Structure 1
């Protein structure tokens, strides 16, 4: 379908990424990453053009997932490179931006996030927050998503187990952060790939 494509990381794109998502200590080779263009619809049903960077082993998966979400008019507010937010995950999430590759650690740990490999995707993160109790205190990312921590309520852009977004990622071998027990990451889908992150 026109509007969906996979490309290598061009020099021009790499210049956008350097020092932001692709930090100086990045251990994921540039040649393992791919640049995707996808279409998506927002809550008003308007067609928007999105772009994201992911690992080459999930590029076809993500093209298929986003194409089917688009065909079903599944609402996604925006899909911009996290480099447009200077690689700042909190800022990107607070603007409800979907993204994939960003070389960084998991919050409150020294472990690399699966975003560091381009094997994780965050969907509508403002309305599907990351929730964890740290030293007895509730920690929510992004900070402005606190109103959406009560998952018994309904609102637009909400991801739930069994909905179309969940089913498509599951069909392609991704797991959902909303199923985690130690914390909850309702925006987050990730894939384990032997030899890359497993």
Structure 2
């Protein structure tokens, strides 16, 4: 493991060309100068070493890279980290493929609020096996990704499952993130985000 494996870069013109109109939507309010490209290594369930890449907000770049270094050192299994632009910034497609991600300028589902992913201040890991679950007003259950439905029963054991107090949750919490698996009215087991009160210090208009 070297600095060539784990590094942070500003967004190059070449990378921005891949992002423009996709994760960097036309109405994006985050300046390109406030985004960073992360390159890192990670292990999958087979123990294979894979290259990962992600775009995030500069405020969290160093701490996220440090988290991924430690997860790699302890062989914490994470299946895939490709830029969400490879999925045309379609979050559903990315999650269904169990792809981890961070920046993608979009709104929170069923709202007009900018997602914390839209600011590059939230990270999703192994999303297919750690779905978002919410009971809607009509009593139906909203699950994303849809192919994660079989992983909603958190009492069962299955690959890539994120659980309270595992090393992944602990590292993110130690670095100032909240885990969506701790939420009461909904659960987002794949999701780690910077708390709103901190975001408002960086972005008062959020």
Out of 2, 6, 20, the residue aligned to residue 4 of structure 1 is 6
Contact 1:52 1:81 in 2 (8 A): yes
Out of 192, 196, 203, the residue aligned to residue 196 of structure 1 is 203
1:107 deviates by 0.9
1:120 deviates by 0.2
Is 1:159 the counterpart of 2:162? The answer is yes
Q: Deviations over 1:102-152 (max 9, x none)?
A: 001111111111000100000000000000112321010000000000001
Please state whether the residue corresponding to 1:105 is helix, strand or coil.
Answer: coil
Tell me how far apart the structure 1 counterparts of residues 168 and 189 of structure 2 sit (CA, whole Å). Answer: 11
Tell me how far apart the structure 2 counterparts of residues 142 and 160 of structure 1 sit (CA, whole Å). Answer: 18
Structure 2 match to 1:71: 73
Tell me how far apart the structure 2 counterparts of residues 145 and 174 of structure 1 sit (CA, whole Å). Answer: 23
1:196 deviates by 2.6
Is 1:182 the counterpart of 2:189? The answer is no
Q: What is the Cα-based RMSD across aligned positions, in Å?
A: 1.0
Structure 1 match to 2:140: 137
Runs of 4 or more off by more than 6 Å in structure 1? none
Please state whether the residue corresponding to 1:79 is helix, strand or coil.
Answer: coil
Count of residues paired in the alignment: 198
Structure 1 residue runs of 5 or longer lacking an equivalent are: none
Tell me how far apart the structure 1 counterparts of residues 145 and 203 of structure 2 sit (CA, whole Å). Answer: 28
Structure 1 match to 2:128: 126
TM-score normalised by structure 2 residue count: 0.94
Tell me how far apart the structure 1 counterparts of residues 99 and 40 of structure 2 sit (CA, whole Å). Answer: 14
Tell me how far apart the structure 1 counterparts of residues 12 and 25 of structure 2 sit (CA, whole Å). Answer: 17
Structure 1 match to 2:36: 34
TM-score normalised by structure 1 residue count: 0.98
Tell me how far apart the structure 1 counterparts of residues 134 and 24 of structure 2 sit (CA, whole Å). Answer: 26
Contact 1:117 1:196 in 2 (8 A): no
Tell me how far apart the structure 2 counterparts of residues 196 and 95 of structure 1 sit (CA, whole Å). Answer: 32
Is 1:80 the counterpart of 2:87? The answer is no
